[in-house]
Amino acid sequence: MTHTELPEEHTTTCRVALVGAPNSGKTCLFNHLTGLNAKVANYPGVTVAKKTGTVLTGGRAAELEDLPGVYSLHPISPDEVVAVDVLRDTRNPVDAVVVVMNSTTLCRSVHLLADVLALGKPVLAVLTMNDELTARQGSVDVAKLSQALGVKVHPVVAHRGVGVDAIGADLADPTSWPQPTIMAPTQETQRHHWVQSVLTASHYTEPLPHATTRALDKVLLHPVAGLAVFFAVMFAFFQVIFTVAAPLADGLEQVLGVAGDSVASRISVPLGAAFVTDALVAGVGGVLVFVPQIALLFLMLSVMEASGYLARTSYLVDRLMVLTGLDGRAFVAMLSSVACAIPGIMATRTMPHERDRLATMMSAPLMTCSARLPVFVLLIGFLVPDDLRLMGFSAQGVAMFGLYLAGGASTMVVAAVLKATVFKSGLMPFFLELPPYRRPSVRTVLTQTWSAVSEFIKRAGSIICVATVVLWVLMTFPQHEAETAAMSESQASAYVLEHSYAARVGKAIEPVFEPLGFDWRVNIGLIGATAAREVFVSTLGAAAAAQDPEDPGQALADMRYTSGPHEGQVVFSGPTVVALLVWFIYAMQCVSTLAVMRRETGGWKWPAVAAVYMTVLAYGLAWVAHAVTAAVLR
């Protein structure tokens, strides 16, 4: 019954909006109805823009719009405005509204339903979280609730899809939905009494507080123990990245290498073979080998989200956030930026104050996003031996944890500075609904992880691949056949690289980056990284493979300065690697982030400000880091 594609004979016959409080199971229901995989989480504020999907039912097609979560139709933040605008739009009106009511917080849901009914459109109610209501010894008589409200009420267990088909069938014809003849009162006290009366008539028993949740929260929300657990969880996670994902990544690298060699050996044109081994395998493949790390990162994030723990971290960190002058809403945006700054910036739409929103948007790109992960893994590999242990822990894992902490701390500091200066404003009260802990649904977790992994693979196949191929071409031409005729193969490719178009550019900007220890090849990588941070890894991979196709990893570690005062010394020395790490923490190397900032702020002013301040910070702090590390190592 539910499909995502529309067979040609069907035309959309009606537009139905899906409205509900944050964290009411709305998006989960949307996914089941439309067969789409919109992101679902156990914390409020995940749906910040509307999504649409199609439900085919009884030969007709309904277009379903998943709106951001709202508690009422009196919006206070931009994402709530989105929902209300769609509902009140008269030029392109929705035909009907499905209201998702969380049965564990029915009082509030009935208030929202009353608001929606007042719009005068056909309304259908869906009662979610009934399994949880029963488990917590609450109850409601659905038939009586439906009678009292005057609308059809469908009880569902959205995450298992129970009861969803019946809703799909009803979507075929909203005009047939029963509607109350008398609307709920609009005056506040009268409205409140109406809600009480409806709940009494439907024999509603409020659920008991979730026992497990209360017990867990005693520890997990404790001001000291809670923060300690949070940091321990993050620390353990980065250990897992290096102990579990790294061997998988090595295996993947070998498979790609063998596959590349076997393809290359069948290509008779030397340049063609070099393209496969250098640009595709060592370059794009060098990025693809990070799939296990990316998968693990998103697996962890989605388990934390779906279980309800991520919402707690906002609460825990809210205490620290107060120091920055922002609240837990900002932290939700910053937390999203761990995956990618783009959803993070979109999440700022839940913030009611423009100043707070801008301060968050300006600082969130400093959070360590998943595109930085491959770069950090590569660079940490130069700096920290993989068998080094610190008190039994993988030293590489500890280093990675430190980098994430540095990213987080920098975000907070920048946000605090911005709030204390340009975006001065009072603190808004922050209410966050802490959902009960729930066992994450395997489907939700796997879908979310897969969607992140496939997004990463798509990036590798599109923007990263294109940028790498362009850079490979620039690093391979001109060919200098006359000069290299007498040289050995590796000497020849090193000569070509050093006299390529790319090298000219890399060398031209060498004076700028010389104080940070970056040579012309690193500079080429940095230029590539403006397209996407991962291109840094693929570019260096391609450059190293050109020098030693047998073992590009070793070639990269052994890369030496070809000129200047450090000629002959190893490029990836301690000071250079530390400077590069610092550079990647701060530099705004993401065109997509700038584009989203422009869209969200409605102009180029703020993206320009972000690009400038982040570049200045990156350069300055990388220079300091280089100087300090060099002094320490001397």
Partner 1 sequence: MMLVLFHPVAGETKQTARWQVTSPSLPNRRLLAPPPALAALMGTVLAGVDAGCGAVYTTLCPGRTWAEDADQVRAALTADLQGLLASGQLADWGRSAGGGSDQLPPSKGYRWQWAPADVDVAQVRQVAQDAVGPLAAAHGGAVHVLAVHGSVVQVKLAGACRGCNVSSSTVQDRLATALMAQVPGVDAVEAV
Residues in contact with partner 1 by the rule CB under 8 A: 147-148, 150, 178, 180-185, 190, 193-194, 196-198, 200-201
CB nearer to partner 1: give 52 or 179.
Answer: 179
Nearer to partner 1, 88 or 193 (CB): 193
Q: Looking up tokens 């081994």, which residue turns up?
A: 277
Tell me the residue length of the chain.
634
CB 203, min distance to partner 1, A: 10
Residue (137 or 200) nearer to partner 1, CB? 200
Joined together, the tokens standing for residue 526 give 């940095």
State how far the Cα of 225 lies from the Cα of 361, in Å rounded to an integer: 30
Closer CB to partner 1, 180 or 270, in the complex: 180
Give the helix/strand (H/E) hosting 194. helix 188-201
* Shortest spacing between CB 46 and partner 1, in angstroms: 33
Residues 6+ apart with CB under 8 A from 339: 297, 298, 301, 369, 370, 452
β-pair partners for 126: 100, 154
CA distances 167 to 36, 98, 109, 126, 494, Å, are 16, 9, 18, 8, 66
**What 3-state class would DSSP assign to 100?**
strand
> At closest approach, how far in Å is the CB of 74 from partner 1?
20
Residues 6+ positions from 412 with CB-CB distance below 8 Å = 320, 321, 323, 324, 363
C-beta closer to partner 1: residue 197 or 254: 197
d(CA 444, CA 38): 10
In the complex with partner 1, the residue whose CB is nearer, 198 or 311, is 198
CB of 367: closest distance to partner 1 in angstroms?
48
The letter for the amino acid at 526 is L
Cβ atoms of 28 and 66 within 8 Å: the answer is: no
The CB-of-212 to partner 1 minimum distance in angstroms stands at 33
Of 194 and 437, the one with the shorter C-beta distance to partner 1 is: 194
Q: How far is the CB of 98 from partner 1 (least distance, A)?
A: 21
Q: Give, as one character, the DSSP assignment of residue 435.
A: P
Based on CB atoms, which residue is closest to partner 1, 194 or 401? Answer: 194
Rounded to the nearest whole angstrom, what is the least distance from the CB of residue 589 to partner 1 in the complex? 58
In eight-state DSSP terms, residue 515 is G
Q: Which amino acid is at 172?
A: A
Q: Which residues of 438-473 are buried (b: 16+ CB within 10 A; e: fewer)?
A: bebbebbbebbbeebbeebeebbeebbbebbbbbbe
Q: Decide whether 181 or 421 has the Cβ nearer to partner 1.
A: 181
Query: Closest approach of Cβ 194 to partner 1, in Å?
Result: 5
Q: Do 156 and 167 meet the contact criterion of CB atoms below 8 Å apart?
A: yes
Smallest distance from the beta carbon of 134 to partner 1, in angstroms? 22
Query: Cβ 145 to partner 1, closest distance in Å?
Result: 11
Residue 120 C-beta: closest distance to partner 1, Å: 9
Per-residue DSSP letter, 3: -
**Would you say 78 or 185 has its CB closer to partner 1?**
185
Long-range contacts of 176-181 (CB under 8 A, 24+ apart): 177/96, 177/122, 177/123, 177/124, 177/151, 177/152, 178/150, 178/151, 178/152, 179/117, 179/122, 179/123, 179/150, 179/151, 180/117, 180/149, 180/150, 180/151, 181/150
CB closer to partner 1, 110 vs 171? 110
Angle, CA 334 vertex, CA 331 and CA 336 arms, to 5°: 110
